[in-house]
Structures are given as structure tokens and as C-alpha cells.
């Protein structure tokens, strides 16, 4: 009997070791000293891009801004913590992206803002916790918010269009297109490859009046000497994001192709212009307006 117990214990130990190794293989994020020095320095990365936005069948010139910063976040209330030192297990460190687009359509302007809140430690929290998007132009405004609750996203969507109206519904958890930008900056090895389902970007969904829902995609990651290119292909749309191999993996340009409301195949693209690694929130005095010139901000 002792011999049988010994063999049984060995079998259980082997199983536990095998499970542990399998678990480790799925851990993407190893927070290095280089990562900590850059992303936990009390500064944000503010990068501007020259934007060519397709709208109403014409190309519009404008600018796009990607702002990346780490913050302490509430896992349960899904808001930035005011006193992170007193929150215990509720605290999760996230990468926040604020993605801004500004362009004109004839006489009137468009202003779009998207925020994505993605956990740094993807092996513990593999999904983005919160996503918001708002759009303002002279006809009115729209707003969408997605909050992760267990294995579903709770979606709240508001619009001045009758057909879209005010909606509240749940979606099964899936990879968000809008979290890809954060995954590139946290650890590009976490980018999903192959065929799977993805929830398209909220800019696209709102501007093209598409329902927010998961769709089948195929994604590839290709390499050149100094850059990597992540390509997402939907049935009638694609998004290509080019970024640097070297840390901190700056996003160089992106291009989106899609079918517009007129049935035409069009594209939107943006190319890197300027960047500052800066605590912008402390630069709100008029004496700091010159920094806008440093970023070529004209809107």
C-alpha cells in the first residue's frame, strides 16, 4: 500500500508540475526594469500623427493624438483610484490610452475621443476592463461605454440618431480592437494571431452606424529589420498598425480600409509626427502653450 501511495503521489506531483509549466507559457507580461523606468516615471507619452480621415466620401486632413500612461485603477468600480495606497485587492495597474482625432468636414469640425483601460499584468487580467468613446460635431454627439463584468461586457450606448437611440445590452467577452494599441505598448507578444472573434473599434462602429458586436477576423504579425506590422482582416475591412521593434515600441503609422456608407472602398491613415514624454497634467498654465507647437497641435 505504501508503494502504491508513493506512485500516486509521484503522479500527482508530475501533473502539478505540468500544469504549472502550461500556465507559465500563457503569461505574456514580464514587467522589466526598462518598462518600469519608462512607464512608471510619473510621465505620459504624448504622440501626434498626421491624419488622413475618410468621411462622407472625401479625405479630410487633421491630426490624431495617442496618449499612453499607467494609472492605478479600481478593478470593481473601474475608475481611477484617488487613494490607491488604501485599496488593497481592488487596485490594478493599467495602461490607459486616450486616442483623439480632430478633423473638419467642410464648415464644421469633428472631435473624437476614445479611452481604453488595459491591465499591465495580462496573465492575471487578460481582458481590457473598460472602454469609452465619445464623438462631437455640429449635428450632435454620441457616447459609448463598455465595462467588463465577469465574462461579459456591459455596453451602454447613447446617440442623437433615432435608429441608434439609447441602448444597454451585454456582449460575451472577446478581444477588443481598441485594446490592441495598449497590448503593443505593454507586450506585443500578447497580440492574438490567427482566426478568432474581435469586437471592432468604436470609432468605426459609431461613424459607420454599425452595431457593436464581435465579428470573425484573421490577424497576422510580420517583421522587418526594425519594425513589426500587425494586420487585422475582417470580411470587408482591415486595420494595419506598424510599430517599432525596440522598446518602448512606438507606433509609427496605421491604415484602415473599409466600405463607406456610399458603398465605396476608402481608407483612413495616420503617420507619426512628434512625441513628448511628459507630465502634461502639470503643464496647464498659459506659459506652457509653446509645448503645443512642439507637438504640431493645430486643433
CA neighbours closer than 13 Å in the CB half-sphere of residue 203: 23
Positions in the chain whose pLDDT score sits under 70: 1-30, 86-87, 299
| pLDDT for the residue 63 | 96
| pLDDT for the residue 164 | 84
| Ranges of each domain in the chain | 32-294
| pLDDT for the residue 149 | 94
Beta strands (DSSP E) in the chain are 44-55, 58-74, 91-105, 108-119, 130-137, 140-149, 152-159, 167-172, 175-176, 194-199, 215-223, 227-233, 238-244, 251-259, 265-278
pLDDT tens digits for 81-137? 988 876 678 899 999 999 999 999 999 999 999 999 999 997 777 899 999 999 999
User: Which pTM value belongs to this model?
Assistant: 0.88
Whether the Cβ atoms of residue 260 and residue 266 lie closer than 8 Å to each other: yes
| pLDDT for the residue 283 | 97
Whether the Cβ atoms of residue 144 and residue 155 lie closer than 8 Å to each other: yes
Which residues are CB-neighbours of 252 under 8 A, at least 6 positions away? 227, 242, 243, 244, 271, 272
Q: Which of 214, 70, 195, 196 is nearest to 153 (CA)?
A: 214
Amino acid at each position: 500500500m505504501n508503494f502504491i501511495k508513493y506512485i500516486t503521489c509521484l503522479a500527482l506531483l508530475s501533473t502539478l508540475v505540468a500544469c504549472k509549466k502550461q500556465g507559465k507559457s500563457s503569461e505574456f507580461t514580464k514587467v522589466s526594469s526598462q518598462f518600469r523606468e519608462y512607464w512608471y516615471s510619473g510621465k505620459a507619452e504624448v504622440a501626434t500623427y498626421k491624419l488622413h480621415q475618410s468621411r462622407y466620401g472625401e479625405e479630410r486632413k487633421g491630426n490624431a493624438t495617442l496618449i499612453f500612461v499607467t494609472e492605478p485603477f479600481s478593478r470593481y468600480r473601474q475608475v481611477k483610484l484617488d487613494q490607491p495606497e488604501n485599496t488593497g485587492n481592488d487596485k490594478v495597474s493599467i495602461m490607459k490610452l486616450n486616442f483623439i482625432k480632430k478633423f473638419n468636414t467642410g464648415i464644421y469640425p469633428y472631435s473624437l475621443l476614445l479611452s481604453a483601460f488595459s491591465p499591465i499584468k495580462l496573465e492575471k487580467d487578460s481582458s481590457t476592463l473598460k472602454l469609452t468613446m465619445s464623438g462631437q460635431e455640429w449635428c450632435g454627439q454620441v457616447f459609448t461605454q463598455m465595462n467588463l463584468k465577469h465574462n461579459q461586457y456591459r455596453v451602454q450606448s447613447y446617440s442623437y440618431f433615432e435608429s441608434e437611440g439609447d441602448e444597454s445590452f451585454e456582449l460575451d467577452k472577446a478581444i477588443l480592437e481598441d485594446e490592441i494599441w495598449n497590448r503593443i505598448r505593454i507586450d506585443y507578444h500578447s497580440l492574438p494571431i490567427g482566426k478568432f472573434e474581435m469586437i471592432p473599434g468604436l470609432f468605426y462602429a459609431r461613424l459607420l452606424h454599425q452595431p457593436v458586436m464581435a465579428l470573425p477576423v484573421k490577424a497576422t504579425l510580420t517583421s522587418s529589420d526594425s519594425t513589426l506590422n500587425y494586420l487585422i482582416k475582417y470580411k470587408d475591412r482591415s486595420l494595419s498598425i506598424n510599430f517599432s521593434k525596440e522598446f518602448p515600441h512606438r507606433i509609427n503609422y496605421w491604415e484602415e480600409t473599409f466600405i463607406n456608407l456610399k458603398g465605396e472602398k476608402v481608407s483612413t491613415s495616420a503617420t507619426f509626427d512628434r512625441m513628448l514624454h511628459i507630465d502634461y497634467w502639470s503643464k496647464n498654465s498659459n506659459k506652457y502653450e509653446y509645448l503645443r507647437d512642439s507637438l504640431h497641435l493645430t486643433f
